[in-house]
Structure 1
Amino acid sequence: MNRLKLLWKFMKGNRLIYIGAVLSIGLATFASIINPLVLKVSIDSVIGDKALKAPSIVMNSINKIGGIDFLENNLWISAIVLVILTMIQGIFLYFKGKWSAQAAESIAKNIRESVYDHLQHQPYDYHVKSETGDLIQRCTSDVDTIRRFLAIQFVEIGRAIFMISFVAIIMFSLNVKMALISMAVVPIIFAFSVIFFLKVKKAFKLSDESEAEMSTVLQENLSGVRVVRAFSKEKFEIDKFEEKNENYRYLTYKLIRLLAGYWALSDLLCLIQIGSVLILGVYWATTGAITLGTLVVFTSYEGMLLWPVRQLGRILTDLGKSLVSLERIGEILDEPREEIESNELTPEIKGNIKFENVSFSYENDNKTLDNISFEVNKGETIAIMGQTGSGKSSLVHLLARLYEYNSGSIKIDGIELKNIQKKWIRKHVGIVLQEPFLFSRSIKDNISLAKLEAKEAEIIESARVAAIHNVIEDFERGYDTKVGEKGVTLSGGQKQRIAIARTLINNSPILIFDDSLSAVDTETDLAIRKALEKRKSGVTTFIISHRVSTIAGADKIIVLENGKIVQSGNHEELIKRKGLYKRVWTIQNSLETEMDKIV
């Protein structure tokens, strides 16, 4: 029920259009059921000698044009009436199709925009844990499933209701016994459709989830194709895809068998029903129990009646699919948005940072960061070193409020970080992540992403500091070169430098390099750090790196181990003490010495 309320919410602005579509299908249905009655009158009372029994409005109309005798001499009038009724039916069917499609497309647009907007406002942790392929499936295939149901099947519910109501009333008014026989199978098919709906809903959910798993494998493989090729794992990836594909085929085939069983059995029941009406109708017509016109009406109505009832299975099938899709979309929308309180502060950010007894963990009890305390003054460079999993990235992610610390205090310029608006702090904390991501746009667009109003001179200056300007100039289209699937293939270091330029263009008072300088060679690394020093002017910088040469010039170096600070000081101080830093420095220093000998 909650999901139907959600659908009702998405229908806002299109509800009247749907009402118009339902009314149109009702009028089209009414016009279609009048046709057999016109044939009955023509056969029984115009051609035949049966007294005409009709509503007064019909009798008055016939009398005005000359009565039954006039119609007998001008049978073409009956044909004209049938043509007019068919035209009326066609006109209303046109409006039904137009309005239902128009509303369905608008609603699908609303759903896509709502889901996309909601995803944009999800916490960082949500996207870390979510599978991209599954989210894409929900935003595309599931939305399209709902769109198709609303465009085609939704108004057909109205058609079925109108058809059964109109036809049942007319049938019972003509002949009760014949009506009972004509409608004997209707409750059976209806009950069968409901049972089928319950089964097919579950089967579709399994099929849809299996398709999402297959999409995830495909997305991961296409994104990581270089890794696959590098390790010659094509066969492994093909086998993995085939496994998911086979499971999807099995579940979808199971769904198709359910559909086939329903259609086969419902067809059999419908044919038995039509055959019964035809046989008994012919018998009663020959014995005079019913007129030939009545037989024509009942045989015509039988097809009209059974078709929407039989279609009920298809409607319920698509309804089941849509409810599953709506459920999957609702699961996204049920996820709480990242909290941004209106009363949070937006102070001037200068770059003075103080960690006091900060602890942080993800979901389990194991602390990723344990009782972290240190202080950074505006304009200082702080380097962070530690083994993989020691909490380096987690520490700097707390600064941008990508995660919230569990205990302790982080103050920026004397203000508690949790009291500063998330969007505001993220505008003032520039992060270059370990794995750079560039959009499939021009290099210029990628660099200016952090500052859309940036001038060309600012873009070039940021690229110069990131030591990528000369490389870009060598490209045929320079800064207009497309990056991504349809553009130039960039090396890992080049991507990283463009990502650095993108962060630098915002002139953030706090800069974080999350192991991002490791992707460039030592010479480029040195060039970037020298350029940063020249334009430093009070920028507080955090550098995470395993390369001692990168962090040796930092004002303070923090060494993390198992989420705790085990060493801190500058380079000269730390190489004199026993510990992780000195071990790493000794190893790297001896390797450089050996390389110099070889050269």
Structure 2
Amino acid sequence: MKNKKTQKQSNILRFYSFTKGFRAKFLISVLMVVVAVIANYMTPQVIRVTVDSVINDNPFNLPGFMSSWIDAIGGREMLRTHIVICAAISLFFAALSGLSNYASRMNLARACEGTVARIRDTLFDHIQHLPYAWHNTHQTGDIIQRCTQDVDLVRNFVSDQLMECIRTVLLIAVSLALMFSMNVELSLLVTAFLPVVIGISLGFYVVTGRRFRVADETEGELTALVQENLTGVRVVRAFGREKFEIDRFNQKNEYFTNLWVKLGKIMGVNWGLGDFMAGFQVLVIIVAGVFFVERGTLTEGEFLAFTAYNSMLVWPARNLGRLLGELSKTTISSTRLFDILDAEQERDCDAPVKPDMNGDIVFDHVNFGYSDSSEVLKDVSFTVKAGTTFGILGATGSGKSTLMYLLDRLYELPEGCGTITVGGVDIRRIDLAHLRSHIGIVLQEPFLFSKTFRESISDGAARHDEETVRHYARLAVIDDAIENFSQGYDTPIGERGVTISGGQKQRVAIARMLMQDTPIKVFDDSMSAVDMETDAKIRKSIQHNVHGTTILIAHRITTLMNADQIMVLDHGEVVQLGTHQELSQQEGIYKRIFDMQSGKSDPDFPQEVS
């Protein structure tokens, strides 16, 4: 396996696999660039021949077949009489260069956009299959910035800089070859400038690479800050935190701006130094060229052609620094993209099974802790009989939600930390898609997409007809509330359900989950935002109309009291297990909470649950 450093250095090359199906277009684009470069360099040769051998009397210094063609059409005198032929030849090469550049750009655009589209598709698909734990450790804004800004930088490099690199190498190689064919001494003088220019460019490449990484990461943090602020805009307004958030953004934005100002200064020095070197090189070559012409070792036509080639060489040499700077940016962006693509996806076992999910759910001596905290669950064992309702009660941080995360394999239970089985089959052996498609979960803070009520309730369900949607809306006691909206079920609920109340969001989420008709249903404190009367209606509706295994997590005793069995968690341990009648008679957490909520104990009792 490659070590980390070697892998980062080859990240740009790893994009080659995404070009499958477009490589012919890339090859055509490169060939057209070669034709365009050759055509560009023919024009100075036409000028050289015209000045030296048509206007003046020097012999034609051309390949044999060209000399024969000139003789066949009438030789030097015919060209002098019809000098427009030389202009037409020059125009032909200019047109050939233009058409070649057009063909190159068209093929490159198609190949590049197709490749980048494949990169985006692969990124999105990969992110969809990354573990829940990975998402918890990465900011949404930073992920978005990588999938947009960093992908665009890769696209710009492939569509512009990559082909420009090929063009630059060709320009330098062809220029030097033609220069040496005309005058070796003057060509060596030109060549002496190249190591200096390349050395300066490499130096700036190293400096800008380090600084760009910091700037790119800071931009990700800035994007995450904006995304977080917009998502929590109601909290910001409710607590009057506008000034605090503005100051926080301004501070981060100022730091980000200063980073790019410093990068701009570095690039300014690079370009200023490059301009000086280019101007100095042209001046030296003109002075030296005049000297060689006077000495007779260089003809006037060769001098004109040489200065043209030198001018053509100056730009690629100067451009090398910019290309290396862009290469530095692309290297950093590609590393950030492959940090995502190299993250390990959720995986099934070697031979996953798809058992009947209507069996008993058994937690057997389960121990679990998150990577950044101590053990959350400690030797937890219990059984949820198939087709029954199981209640879970516990204080904040007792591990209630963690149990459901493990059941749904949002977090994997490590080997040696107990087992969780459904129908006697270890969930680690169950096909992941099969497992999750048979477990419906409603969270305390459900996420709703920017859709209508109808689309939100039917999201992911096999049936979408109106009567079915209304049926499950009635089960969740949300039908009447939806009808009160001006557009009824076609009312958009806004991003994250921002236009409806917390209780309405929970009920829409309950309807959405019930419509999946899964054999296992989990309500993770999902009725905390509804009043007790609505809570009772929902439970009664579910009890009489919904079949399967139901797990209720709640802090209201009234929500749990009709469950077939109730478990009480305390600091990750099972401390009580039984029916409501049994637990309400036992001394312990359940009885204290029941007495407090029913008004039988001191109302100032400091028990807090979630």
Whether 1:98 and 2:106 are equivalent positions in the alignment is: yes
Whether 1:278 and 2:269 are equivalent positions in the alignment is: no
1:140-219 aligned within 5 A? 140-219=148-227
Whether 1:456 and 2:463 are equivalent positions in the alignment is: no
Comparing 547-556 with 223-232, greater Cα deviation is found at: 547-556
Whether 1:233 and 2:241 are equivalent positions in the alignment is: yes
Comparing 387-396 with 370-379, greater Cα deviation is found at: 370-379
**Structure 1 residue 298, shift from structure 2 partner:** 1.2
Residue of 468, 477, 488 corresponding to 2:478: 468
Residue of 115, 120, 123 corresponding to 2:128: 120
**Structure 1 residue 277, shift from structure 2 partner:** 1.0
**Structure 1 residue 591, shift from structure 2 partner:** 9.2
The equivalent residue for 2:66 is 58
Distance 1:486 1:237 in 2: 21
Encode CA deviations 1:290-315: one digit per residue, 9 max, x unaligned: 22111111111111111112111111
Q: Cα–Cα, structure 1 residues 591 and 113, in superposed 2: closer, same or farther, change >3 Å?
A: farther
**SS at the partner of 2:392?**
strand
Structure 1: gaps of 5 or more residues: 595-599
**SS at the partner of 1:575?**
helix
Q: Is the 8 A contact 1:496 1:519 kept in 2?
A: yes
**Structure 1 residue 422, shift from structure 2 partner:** 1.5
The equivalent residue for 1:542 is 551
Q: Is the 8 A contact 1:350 1:413 kept in 2?
A: yes
Comparing 475-484 with 42-51, greater Cα deviation is found at: 475-484
Distance 2:546 2:40 in 1: 80
Distance 1:416 1:51 in 2: 91
Distance 1:504 1:591 in 2: 36
Distance 1:39 1:306 in 2: 20
Task: Indicate the RMSD between aligned Cα atoms, in angstroms.
Answer: 1.8
Q: Is the 8 A contact 1:17 1:100 kept in 2?
A: yes
1:371-390 aligned within 5 A? 371-390=379-398
- Aligned-partner residue type, residue 481 of structure 1: T
Distance 1:85 1:355 in 2: 79
1:272-421 aligned within 5 A? 272-341=280-349, 343-363=351-371, 366-406=374-414, 407-421=417-431
Q: Is the 8 A contact 2:142 2:220 kept in 1?
A: yes
Distance 1:152 1:114 in 2: 23
Q: Is the 8 A contact 1:482 1:488 kept in 2?
A: no
Whether 1:577 and 2:586 are equivalent positions in the alignment is: yes
Q: Is the 8 A contact 1:368 1:391 kept in 2?
A: yes
**Structure 1 residue 201, shift from structure 2 partner:** 1.3
Q: Cα–Cα, structure 1 residues 453 and 188, in superposed 2: closer, same or farther, change >3 Å?
A: farther
Distance 1:463 1:379 in 2: 22
The equivalent residue for 2:6 is none
Q: Is the 8 A contact 1:149 1:319 kept in 2?
A: yes
Q: Cα–Cα, structure 1 residues 323 and 191, in superposed 2: closer, same or farther, change >3 Å?
A: same
**Structure 1 residue 593, shift from structure 2 partner:** 11
Distance 1:591 1:524 in 2: 24
**Structure 1 residue 505, shift from structure 2 partner:** 0.3
- Aligned-partner residue type, residue 555 of structure 1: D
**SS at the partner of 1:83?**
helix
Distance 1:256 1:308 in 2: 21
The equivalent residue for 1:597 is none
Q: Is the 8 A contact 1:450 1:503 kept in 2?
A: no
Encode CA deviations 1:93-143: one digit per residue, 9 max, x unaligned: 111111222221111111111111100111121112221001001110000
Distance 2:311 2:117 in 1: 37
Distance 1:103 1:140 in 2: 19
Distance 1:325 1:139 in 2: 10
**SS at the partner of 2:381?**
strand
The equivalent residue for 2:596 is 587
Whether 1:45 and 2:53 are equivalent positions in the alignment is: yes
Distance 2:271 2:462 in 1: 57
Residue of 547, 561, 567 corresponding to 1:558: 567
Distance 1:493 1:198 in 2: 56
Distance 2:319 2:546 in 1: 71
Q: Is the 8 A contact 2:171 2:312 kept in 1?
A: yes
Whether 1:502 and 2:512 are equivalent positions in the alignment is: yes
The equivalent residue for 2:607 is none
Q: Is the 8 A contact 1:431 1:503 kept in 2?
A: yes
Q: Cα–Cα, structure 1 residues 294 and 276, in superposed 2: closer, same or farther, change >3 Å?
A: same
Q: Cα–Cα, structure 1 residues 385 and 127, in superposed 2: closer, same or farther, change >3 Å?
A: same
Distance 1:295 1:421 in 2: 76
- Aligned-partner residue type, residue 532 of structure 2: T
Q: Is the 8 A contact 1:560 1:566 kept in 2?
A: yes
**Structure 1 residue 419, shift from structure 2 partner:** 1.7
- Aligned-partner residue type, residue 450 of structure 2: S
- Aligned-partner residue type, residue 462 of structure 1: Y
Q: Is the 8 A contact 2:168 2:316 kept in 1?
A: yes
- Aligned-partner residue type, residue 515 of structure 1: D
Q: Is the 8 A contact 1:379 1:536 kept in 2?
A: no
- Aligned-partner residue type, residue 58 of structure 2: K
Distance 2:275 2:367 in 1: 67
Distance 2:511 2:315 in 1: 65
Encode CA deviations 1:385-411: one digit per residue, 9 max, x unaligned: 111111000011211121222322222
Q: Is the 8 A contact 2:392 2:566 kept in 1?
A: yes
Distance 1:453 1:293 in 2: 81
Comparing 340-349 with 298-307, greater Cα deviation is found at: 340-349
Distance 1:486 1:129 in 2: 21
**Structure 1 residue 514, shift from structure 2 partner:** 0.7
The equivalent residue for 2:275 is 267
- Aligned-partner residue type, residue 519 of structure 1: A
Q: Is the 8 A contact 1:104 1:150 kept in 2?
A: yes
Q: Cα–Cα, structure 1 residues 3 and 486, in superposed 2: closer, same or farther, change >3 Å?
A: closer
Distance 1:194 1:13 in 2: 34
**Structure 1 residue 342, shift from structure 2 partner:** 5.4
Report the TM-score, using the length of structure 1 for normalisation: 0.96
**Structure 1 residue 579, shift from structure 2 partner:** 1.8
Q: Is the 8 A contact 2:448 2:497 kept in 1?
A: no
**Structure 1 residue 351, shift from structure 2 partner:** 4.1
Whether 1:29 and 2:65 are equivalent positions in the alignment is: no
Q: Is the 8 A contact 2:52 2:300 kept in 1?
A: yes
Encode CA deviations 1:38-96: one digit per residue, 9 max, x unaligned: 11111111111222211112211211211111101111111111111100000001111
Comparing 141-150 with 158-167, greater Cα deviation is found at: 158-167
**SS at the partner of 1:130?**
coil
**Structure 1 residue 502, shift from structure 2 partner:** 0.7
- Aligned-partner residue type, residue 115 of structure 1: L
The equivalent residue for 1:515 is 525
**SS at the partner of 2:528?**
helix
Whether 1:15 and 2:29 are equivalent positions in the alignment is: no
Distance 2:374 2:292 in 1: 84
Whether 1:4 and 2:5 are equivalent positions in the alignment is: no
Q: Is the 8 A contact 1:525 1:550 kept in 2?
A: yes
Q: Cα–Cα, structure 1 residues 297 and 485, in superposed 2: closer, same or farther, change >3 Å?
A: same
Distance 1:25 1:452 in 2: 53
Distance 1:217 1:252 in 2: 19
Comparing 238-247 with 287-296, greater Cα deviation is found at: 287-296
